[in-house]
Chain A
Amino acid sequence: MSEPAGLELRGVRKTFGPTVALESFDLTLQQGEFVSLLGPSGCGKTTALRVVAGFEPADSGTVLVAGTDVSSVSVNKRDMGMVFQSYSLFPHLTALDNVAFGLRMRRESTAKRRQKAGEMLELVGLSTQSGRYAHQMSGGQQQRVALARALAISPRVLLLDEPLSALDAKVRVSLRDEIRRIQRDLGITTLFVTHDQEEAMAVSDRVGVMSNGRLEQIGPPADVYRRPSSAFVARFVGTVNTIEGTVGSGGVDTGAGFIPVPVDALAVGAPAKVLVRPEAVLIEPVGNGGLIASVTSLSFRGAVTRVGLQIRGGISVVSDVAGTTAEQFSSGGEVSLRFDSSGVFVEPG
């Protein structure tokens, strides 16, 4: 018999008055898996997390943890650790007391509470801060303590509700890597809610993209990025150039020229939009064939340079050029442009 899923949501529906926050929502996390829910504001990702935690009762559907239905179990008995978006440390307690709080609720002995809380603080690298209060710590430190507090109770599921969104960029990156390291070490099933696609891509085993209370697509980050199931996913995960045109034989005829791309599902002559990832817009010096475009801007971004291009017909696209290749181009100059079909998608116009 196979191991039950670490967390499962089956046909969950949740409404707030006339607003449908979740509709026929299904999600399965394997034991020890790290899954991120990604989506724009109001798509229902936080509601899904709150339904799992028990803060919001679902109108219908079930929530299962390790095969057990917990839909009607109260929040304090669900055995889930949660880290919140806003700083949630209890202001009247020290870091150590905060971490020990959940153990105290479980009536663990003083010695065990002290030992476990100390271990957890060590795990998040804050053993020297155990006597500090929330107002004496930085935002990053507070979220580390909150993570230690959530983990101290050895929860069956760890829920992360945008825990990094209030932190500055550098701390956000280091803490997200730390969360992933700890999650891997402990092998804890984790559901992470974020609106930051880079964050979700960087740490997750799988990423679920949500829209209007539904899961549009779920899969490994590379799959979601490279093979988006819809234009919404393509646009939300990463950047895309949009070029309008008409479906032709074996491609789309656009104002910029003919773009060869699979169009099997579309009727010839129907309007269509071609979506192209910036890294799939390949540019070379003029003379190598392809479309002719003029360079409008060059924006250095570290590992890549984003090149702004204007194709004839006034169509603007951007291209991400890796390494030092972009140095051979200059603003106002002309380049030859081709599309890498692996980063091109078509949607009906």
Chain B
Amino acid sequence: MAAMTTRQRPRFGLAAIVILCGLFFFVPLYAAAKFGFYSDFKHKFTLDPLKELTAGAKGPPFRTSVWLSVRLAASTTVASLVLMVPTMVWLHLKVPKLRPVAELVSILPYVVPAIALVAGASKAFRTAWPFILVNPLGMIPLYVIVALPFTYRSLDAGLSAIDLRTLAEASRSLGAGWLRTIRSVVVPNMVTSILGASFLTMAVVLGEYTISALLLHTTFPVYLVQATGDSPRGGPALSILSILVTWLLLGLISLTQRRRGSSPIASPLVRKG
């Protein structure tokens, strides 16, 4: 009986911690959702604040800001992967001793505030290449830096999980060059970590406010803040919606990992031309 009690105590303590954390996390979300999606007068679920906000009747156009954020997220993801996958492969194969240094560098964006990054970029490029600051797509390099901690860790985990050296050497001995080896052997064997890096990068870009606000580009988060001033209920409603989309992305990562764990991804080389 005494043994049962000691076994049950930690479980009870753990459950209490989980419940408390859950309440701390979900109550504000619930409050925001209730405020955004429920009418004060009718006490019924309503999408009116959301419609009002996204109709573009007030403030900057909703669609333009969403489209810009989506373009930035997709471009940043592609740029991050094109830059990071070969670099990480090179790091793992050729200079593994530098991995701790690279890891340290990868966390710098955590400690360098976005405002400092913008100030630095502004100072550096304003006279030489002002178009980088004027064009919204000029934010892509800054976003690549901001997403670096996530991209690095996800790709590093993926590369550490495979016998990269042997696979690369086998591929090369069979006639594949480095690019072909990365494309045909390395990438297919780290699909999950690439997807993870992609979704995390997208989540970072879709939620990034400081850089775009300081450079006066109206991305989705900037629009959200501006629109909330005009529509107090629409802002929280849209925030909840964007959080749900982010969770959906993370859920997709989890689902992909599970599917990958149960069956390998087929790549029928023989059938291709």
Chain A interface (Cβ < 8 Å from any Cβ of B): 53, 55, 74-78, 80-82, 84, 86-88, 90-94, 96-97, 100-102, 104-106, 110, 113-114, 117, 133, 135, 146, 149-150, 153, 159
**Which residues of A are found within 8 Å of B173, using beta-carbon distances?**
53, 75-76, 78, 80-82, 150, 159
Residue of B nearest to A149 (CB): B174
Are the C-beta atoms of B269 and A101 separated by less than 8 Å?
Answer: yes
Are the C-beta atoms of B170 and A106 separated by less than 8 Å?
Answer: no
Are the C-beta atoms of A90 and B272 separated by less than 8 Å?
Answer: no
Count residues of B near A (Cβ-Cβ below 8 Å).
Answer: 28
Residue B166 interfacial (CB < 8 Å): yes
- Determine which of A80, A90, A102, A106 lies in contact with B189 in the assembled complex, contact meaning CB atoms within 8 Å: A90
Are the C-beta atoms of A97 and B270 separated by less than 8 Å?
Answer: yes
Residue B117 interfacial (CB < 8 Å): no
Residue of A nearest to B162 (CB): A91
Are the C-beta atoms of A105 and B169 separated by less than 8 Å?
Answer: no
Residue of B nearest to A135 (CB): B264
B60 to chain A, nearest CB (A): 45
Question: Can you give 5 contacting A-B residue pairs, CB < 8 Å?
Answer: A78-B173, A88-B163, A88-B170, A90-B185, A117-B270
A140 to chain B, nearest CB (A): 18
Are the C-beta atoms of B170 and A84 separated by less than 8 Å?
Answer: yes
Are the C-beta atoms of A76 and B172 separated by less than 8 Å?
Answer: yes
Residue B55 interfacial (CB < 8 Å): no
A114 to B269, CA, bound (A): 10
Residue B126 interfacial (CB < 8 Å): no
Are the C-beta atoms of B169 and A91 separated by less than 8 Å?
Answer: no
**Which residues of B are found within 8 Å of A106, using beta-carbon distances?**
175
A86 to B163, CA, bound (A): 9
Residue of B nearest to A159 (CB): B173
**Residue in A80, A91, A100 whose Cβ sees the most chain B Cβ within 10 Å:** A91
**Per-residue 0/1 for B236-273: is the Cβ within 8 Å of any A Cβ (1 yes, 0 no)?**
00000000000000000000000000001111111111
Are the C-beta atoms of A101 and B171 separated by less than 8 Å?
Answer: yes
A159 to chain B, nearest CB (A): 8
Residue of A nearest to B180 (CB): A105
Residue B177 interfacial (CB < 8 Å): yes
**Which residues of B are found within 8 Å of A76, using beta-carbon distances?**
172-177
Are the C-beta atoms of B166 and A88 separated by less than 8 Å?
Answer: yes
A233 to B244, CA, bound (A): 71
B183 to chain A, nearest CB (A): 12
A98 to B271, CA, bound (A): 13
**Which residues of B are found within 8 Å of A149, using beta-carbon distances?**
170, 174
Which 5 A-B pairs rank lowest in CB-CB distance, beginning with the nearest?
Answer: A105-B175, A102-B174, A88-B170, A92-B188, A97-B269
